[in-house]
Amino acid sequence: MDILEKILNNPELAEKIRLKCDIELYPELQDLYDEDGHITWNIEGKAFGADGSGGEFVLLSDGTIGFNSSEGETGRIAENTKELFSLLVNCPCFFDFLMPDIYADKALLKKYADKIEKEYREEFSDITDYDWDEIKREIAKELDFSIDDNIAENTLMKFYETATRELQYQATYHEDDGSLTLSEPLISRPMGDWIRKNLGEWLKFSIQWKKFKRYIRKY
């Protein structure tokens, strides 16, 4: 029994995954919505679930997992279904980590990931009766993968490598006039003001901390 079938056959597990991971599985694989033939993809696939905003998770013909966002972005997000659910369980929300620049600074990435997880943890406790850590452990046990205690170092870097490796999963929109428009890759968003602000604060803190350590060594 594969992971998708296992989840579909376990309504309680499916509900926990819907709440924690923001994915609702389709009862069966579906053709991708192609706007009456206007959209084509460079890798064939079938949709198997959707998130709350209408983005679709796609089982690609090479066995990897693609994602078509409701904003028109496309990309590969996991090498297989098990890796997908490991990402969705361990990461608060991969949509908060689509800025390529942040992966260049692992210290900032960890700081940002901790901040985002804290926000999601608080929101989760407000809208559900489940405990954030407990539901992660329960899903991970059912699907046989580990909880990641350092997502910045492991889960997120794996996500980045998968999303940016070649051959990238892309869609092409065929305009009525014959012109073609390529979809934007998933990891292509600019860093927002909050991150830029914290980047400045983090760099300032790092410089001050290094100066302090040098001072301590000197005296």
pLDDT tens, residue by residue, 101-157: 999 988 889 989 998 999 999 999 999 999 999 999 999 999 999 999 999 999 999
**pTM of the predicted structure, to 2 decimals:** 0.87
pLDDT interval class at 184 (50, 70, 90): very high
Task: Give me the torsion for CA of 132, 136, 142, 148, rounded to 10°.
Answer: -170
Q: Reduce the DSSP state of residue 53 to 3 states and report it.
A: coil
Summarize pLDDT for 141-156 with one digit per residue, the tens: 999 999 999 999 999 9
Distance, CA of 68 to CA of 58 (rounded, Å): 8
Q: What is the mean pLDDT of the chain?
A: 89
What are the residue ranges spanned by the domains of the chain? 3-188
Provide the percentage of residues in the chain whose pLDDT is more than 70.
87
User: What secondary structure, in 3-state letters, does 140-193 show?
Assistant: HHHHCCCCCCCCCCCHHHHHHHHHHCCCCCCEEEECCCCCEEECEECCCCCCCH
Burial (Cβ within 10 Å: 0-12, 13-18, ≥19) of residue 37: exposed
Average pLDDT, integer, range 56-77: 96
The 8-class DSSP code of residue 205 comes to H
Statement: residue 193 has pLDDT above 80: no
